[in-house]
Amino acid sequence: MEKSIKLNLPPISLLDLPESTLDFILKCLSPMDLCRMSKVCVLLKGKCESDEFWENHIKEKWGRVIGDAVYKEWEWHIAIAKDGVLLNNQHTNQTGSMGSFSGVWPNLCLGSYLEHFKLLNGKNSNNFMMSLYFSLETGSFWFPAQVYKELVIYNALVKYDSQSNTFQARYQNRDWGFLGRNIEWDMVRAPAVDTPPYVVHVSHCSHNLKPEDHVEIQWRPDTQSPYDWWYAVIGHLDSCNQNCCRCHYSDTLIVEFRQYPEESDSRRIKLCRKKNEEQSDQIEGYYGGIRKLENEDEIETWKRLFPLQIQFQDDMEDFDDVGSLEDSVESFHSHDDMEHFGDVDSLDDNVESFLSQDDGDGTNPSEHHTDASQGFTFGEVGSMRNSNSKVVCCHFSSDGKLLASAGNDKKVVVWNMETLQTESTAEEHSLTVTDVRFRPNSTQLATSSSDSTVRLWDAADPLFSLQVHIGHTSHVASLDFHPTKNDLFCSCDDINEIRFWNINQYSSIQGFKGGSTQVRFQPRVGHLLAAASGSFVSLFDVETCMQMHTFQGHSAEVHFVCWDPNGDYLASVSEECVKVWSIASGECIHELNCNGEAFRSCVFHPIYSTLLVIGAYQSLELWNMVENKIMTIPAHECVISALAQSPVTGMIASASHDKSVKIWK
């Protein structure tokens, strides 16, 4: 009988393994296991902290959101740390790139920022990749990245929040204000180019761009601001047709921002292909370099982000059919609370004369246009009577699909413009709702009330308010959301106090005097805030809250203010007149005196830039500012207290004390 032989072999140590085998094992370890293994012995400590293992972990988790710029910035921080100056005396940090800022970040041009500089003390500064990994993981390192927000890509400094697995971002535009919190991973990307935010990106792709190429283009509102990146598609020249395209032979490049409707003045711009320098539109802003999108994933990201706004050529076979509103007339009759009034062609034959100098293509109300308008119509296409008392405010959502109105009923009525159904919020306000505004690119909306509160709602579930903001000590008269800082909104009360609020905080973040009737942020860029108080309208710098200018000239109280879509002009309404002001010059460039019933509200036409629609007693006044021509449209049975417009649908809404809201186009 054979005896089994037992071999008493000594246990195999990791250190006895071939180096290639040991390296393979270490590469399979998680970051935490690598840290634990580094404590076994000196040899394993050196291996486990080496760059080759940590580089894999960085690429695996962070590869999509960090680029070469992050590594360059980290090299700089390592070099500073090894020098030892900042570590010995934090106050010698003249660049502001390391240490800690109390309150507002300084107005410094930072490539990155390390909150806790002690992370690099001692031997940690020798472990490049490992120290970078943990600075990213702990959120102490604000690194350069690009953030998708609304219709723009911002160059920002970003840090990770491990608890929520999201990011925070700061954006430098005169200071380092918050761009956002709880930003998802797919909204952050590594910088696509290594061009600094204030420098024009030099690219030679413009010479070979052709229609339907997808691009990103640098844009900034003024020469003091950093560039952002906007998505666009190359379009055709006006001289092109189905049989002949001349784009490739022209030095003119047509850039289309298809997130804007066809009628919008902001949809198409003309640039020179041969210029590798900043090109100014003067009205629209300043355009820098162009980057052609070769990667389908990048194009799909834009499509996914803005499926409702972006219109692609392949989906526009029936784009010339503009009869969809007329086709839906029968559906207006099918709802008990909807009434259809009149024909959209209800204006008389003098419309052509009335708009003879407005072709709808310009953006400056002072410019003289010579092409006659063709086919202009303006008429009522729908009406809603869901209120038992005066309606005093209304507003469209960004996509034009929702219309909110409110007033003495102490609740908001939300009208779905596609289904024509309505829903109402709960009556949580105890007094009149004085203003209602949608949050940009959202179904959320906010209301101000005479009960001294501001409430946040979601139109998708309006049965209860999401937030209540308390801080005003008197009737809150108006509020508005910032166009780009989506968490920021402001309000004013009847004792002249303006408050800035952050949705993520329940207390106001800033307060100052200057507005008692209405507040409205400047569209697109949001640098300025217009506030009406008494017979004056003041402009405030949003960042500093300093009063920049005061428009004087009304002899009665200003009831209503509105901006043109580009934020270059401001209209103000009092009972006796309407004035249009140039922001650039500070002068009144157009004025219309009331010869009949008192004026109350106004809005710029969403398509015809030189046409101002004014709400008066029972009628709408269509004012061609260039020709100074007036057309009166019978509209309501009482005062038209508010007007709103949607540049996406081309519709105008009017709210009245006769308890109704009407839609015009």
Please report, for the domain that includes residue 641, its CATH number: 2.130.10.10
Indicate yes or no: pTM above 0.95: no
Is 479 inside a domain boundary? yes
DSSP string, 542-594: TTT--EEEEE---SS-EEEEEE-TTSSEEEEEESSEEEEEETTT--EEEEEE-
Average pLDDT over residues 539-555: 91
List, for residues 45-74, the tens digit of each pLDDT value.
Answer: 767 677 777 788 888 888 889 988 898 888
401 and 550, same domain (yes or no): yes
Measured between alpha carbons, how far is 621 from 607 in angstroms, rounded to an integer?
A: 16
566 and 452, same domain (yes or no): yes
Return the top range by mean pLDDT from 111-115, 320-324, 439-443.
439-443
Compute the Cα dihedral for 281, 285, 286, 289 and give only its sign. negative
Any idea what DSSP says for residue 367? Answer: S
- Give the SS3 label for residue 664: strand
Percent of residues, the chain, with pLDDT higher than 90: 35
580 and 474, same domain (yes or no): yes
Q: Does the pLDDT of residue 424 top 50, yes or no?
A: yes
400 and 532, same domain (yes or no): yes
With beta carbons less than 8 A apart as the criterion, state whether 144 and 70 touch: yes
Any idea what DSSP says for residue 596? Answer: S
Last residue of a domain, one of 290, 313, 336: 313
389 and 279, same domain (yes or no): no
539 and 445, same domain (yes or no): yes
Measured between alpha carbons, how far is 397 from 368 in angstroms, rounded to an integer?
A: 32
Query: Which carries the bigger pLDDT value, residue 129 or residue 314?
Result: 129
Is 146 inside a domain boundary? no
Is 279 inside a domain boundary? yes
Is 428 inside a domain boundary? yes
295 and 404, same domain (yes or no): no
Percent of residues, the chain, with pLDDT higher than 70: 77
List, for residues 322-373, the tens digit of each pLDDT value.
Answer: 333 233 323 333 333 333 333 333 333 444 445 544 444 444 554 433 333 4
DSSP string, 227-264: PEEEEEEE---TT--SS---GGG-SEEEEE-TTS-TT-
- CA dist list (Å): 37 to 15, 22, 41, 44, 655: 12, 12, 8, 7, 70
Any idea what DSSP says for residue 136? Answer: H
Give the contacts of 271 (CB within 8 A, at least 6 positions apart). 206, 252, 253, 255, 279, 287
List, for residues 525-543, the tens digit of each pLDDT value.
Answer: 899 999 999 999 999 999 8
Is 97 inside a domain boundary? no
Last residue of a domain, one of 265, 294, 313: 313
309 and 398, same domain (yes or no): no
- Give the SS3 label for residue 133: helix
Is 581 inside a domain boundary? yes
Q: Does the pLDDT of residue 640 top 90, yes or no?
A: yes
Measured between alpha carbons, how far is 388 from 408 in angstroms, rounded to an integer?
A: 8
488 and 609, same domain (yes or no): yes
Measured between alpha carbons, how far is 614 from 343 in angstroms, rounded to an integer?
A: 21
- In terms of residue numbers, what domain contains 263? 206-313
With beta carbons less than 8 A apart as the criterion, state whether 420 and 335 touch: yes
Strand extents, DSSP E, 411-471: 412-416, 422-424, 433-438, 444-449, 453-458, 467-470
Q: Does the pLDDT of residue 660 top 50, yes or no?
A: yes
For residue 383 the two structure tokens come to 């009406």
Average pLDDT over residues 228-240: 89
Is 288 inside a domain boundary? yes
576 and 455, same domain (yes or no): yes
Report the pLDDT value the prediction gives residue 247, as an integer from 0 to 100: 83
Q: How many CB atoms lie within 10 A of CB 495?
A: 12
Is 119 inside a domain boundary? no
For residue 323 the two structure tokens come to 């009869």
Measured between alpha carbons, how far is 220 from 197 in angstroms, rounded to an integer?
A: 10
**48, containing H or E segment:** helix 42-48
391 and 272, same domain (yes or no): no
Query: Which carries the bigger pLDDT value, residue 361 or residue 478?
Result: 478
Q: φ, ψ for residue 489 (rounded to 5)?
A: -145, 165
Last residue of a domain, one of 253, 281, 313: 313
Measured between alpha carbons, how far is 593 from 596 in angstroms, rounded to an integer?
A: 9
Query: Comparing 302-316, 437-451, 511-525, which segment has the lowest mean pLDDT?
Result: 302-316
Task: Count structural domains, the chain.
Answer: 2
* Interior angle at CA 386, CA 382 and CA 391, nearest 5: 90
421 and 532, same domain (yes or no): yes
With beta carbons less than 8 A apart as the criterion, state whether 448 and 432 touch: no
With beta carbons less than 8 A apart as the criterion, state whether 301 and 295 touch: no
